Amino acid sequence: MSKKLIKGNVALAEAAVRAGCQAYFGYPITPQTELLEHMAIRMPELGRTFLQAESEVAAINMVYGAASSGVRAMTSSSGPGISLMQEGLSYIVGSEVPVVIIDVMRGGPGLGNIQPAQSDYNQLTKTAGHGDYNPIVLAPSTIQEGVDMVTLSFDLADKYRTLVFVAIDGAIGQMMEPAEMPPMQELHPRPEWAITGQGERNEKNIITSIYLGADNLGDFNDKLQAKLRAIEESEVRYEAETVDDAELIVVAFGTSGRVAKSAVHHLRKAGKKVGLLRPITLWPFPSKKLAALADGGTKKFLVVEMNMGQMLHDVRYAVGRDIDVQFFGRAGGSIPMPEEIQEKAMAMLEVN
């Protein structure tokens, strides 16, 4: 295997193809459209399903149908489209169907713009539909990591029978980088719960999210929460660099995590005790790691995001009220510069 220069959206689409995605349904929206276009070529070539839906509302329900049939199914979109999908997301989690969605984030609210942003953090991790649940949210910061996360996303979706987002921003979607593609996986056999027509089975299969009785729905929610706690226990992923002796830790994900890494490297070279904590799973969030770092002596945390401070609240909650947590970020489509992060970190370090 060798590395190949490839565009982010195309790389993530191809990674999904190689992970055995058998059905893709989507709707054009910038900045994710190349992803849909790659699927439009590759899926029919392999005898798999590509269908452009009439809306994101239809697309997510087509995904829901195909995933209920036990094939690896996905869609991709950006903030305004994800908003339209929310009803379907809730049904998918409520009926325990594995689904993967790639969100190439843009600026909001409303129509916002098509510049890179991390405006969907709250939407993906906390408000992705009505009811009590969190989807798994993977946030790669490079194209290679994006490829690896797409491969992982299908495995996690199948393992936990739940919804998994891979969240990148327009910058990662649109840029080109060298990346190595995984080998093509065999198509997975249909699981025993899948809707395929009863055939030789003794019992019919049902996929539903309705439990009319208070007891029934209570029991289902208990079961769902137990699954989510198991995911929190086993699936937290992050990158930590030079955190052990750090006076200040920069917390950032995705593109801002990547920029923050440059800033931290620069500050370390200048002799500053600065570290980086880059959450790779936005949900489950690396709260325990952050708490341990705060307990271990780091008293200053700088959260950097391409929004007005969404992950910020999770960091504050994790480290507690005695810790100095500050924020640097802006909305609208500008990517923070390493120098800006360094300047903010230096200002925090100067205060005793």
3-state secondary structure of 191: coil
> By the 8 A CB rule, do 39 and 50 touch?
yes
Give the residue with the Cβ less far from other proteins, 76 or 141.
76
Least gap, CB of 69 to other proteins (angstroms): 4
Whole-angstrom distance, CA of residue 257 vs CA of residue 240:
11
Give the Cα separation of 148 and 144 in Å (integer): 6
Least Å distance, CB 193 to other proteins, is: 10
Q: CB-wise, 71 or 293, nearer to other proteins? A: 71
* Shortest spacing between CB 122 and other proteins, in angstroms: 23
CB of 108 to other proteins, least distance (A): 24
Whose Cβ is closer to other proteins: residue 46's or residue 337's? Answer: 46
- In terms of CB distance, is 25 or 253 closer to other proteins? 25
Could you identify the residue written with the tokens 């006076």? 247
| Close Cβ partners of 186 (under 8 Å, ≥ 6 residues apart) | 20
Token pair 């005898």: residue: 47
ω into 284 cis (within 30 of 0) = yes
In the complex, the smallest distance separating the C-beta of residue 28 from other proteins, rounded to whole angstroms, is: 15
Q: How far apart are CA 270 and CA 319, in angstroms?
A: 27
Distance CA 238, CA 280 (A): 5
Is the separation of the CB atoms in 93 and 131 below 8 Å?
Answer: yes
Which residues pair with residue 274 across a beta bridge? 248
Q: How far is the CB of 297 from other proteins (least distance, A)?
A: 50
Q: Distance of CA 26 to CAs 23, 34, 63, 100, 147, Å?
A: 10, 11, 9, 12, 19
Nearer Cβ to other proteins (186/203) = 203
Cβ distance to other proteins smaller for residue 204 or 269 = 204
Q: How far, in Å, CA of 258 to CA of 118, rounded?
A: 13
Q: How far is the CB of 76 from other proteins (least distance, A)?
A: 15
Positive or negative torsion for Cα 209, 215, 220, 225: positive
Give the alpha-carbon dihedral of 293, 266, 263, 259, to 10 degrees: -120
Query: What's the token pair of residue 186?
Result: 């065999």
| Minimum CB distance to other proteins smaller for 54 or for 215 | 54
CB closer to other proteins, 55 vs 225:
55
Minimum Å gap between C-beta 155 and other proteins is: 20
Chain residues that interact with other proteins, rule: CB under 8 A: 22-23, 25, 49, 51, 53-55, 57-59, 61-71, 73, 87-88, 91, 95, 195-200, 204-210
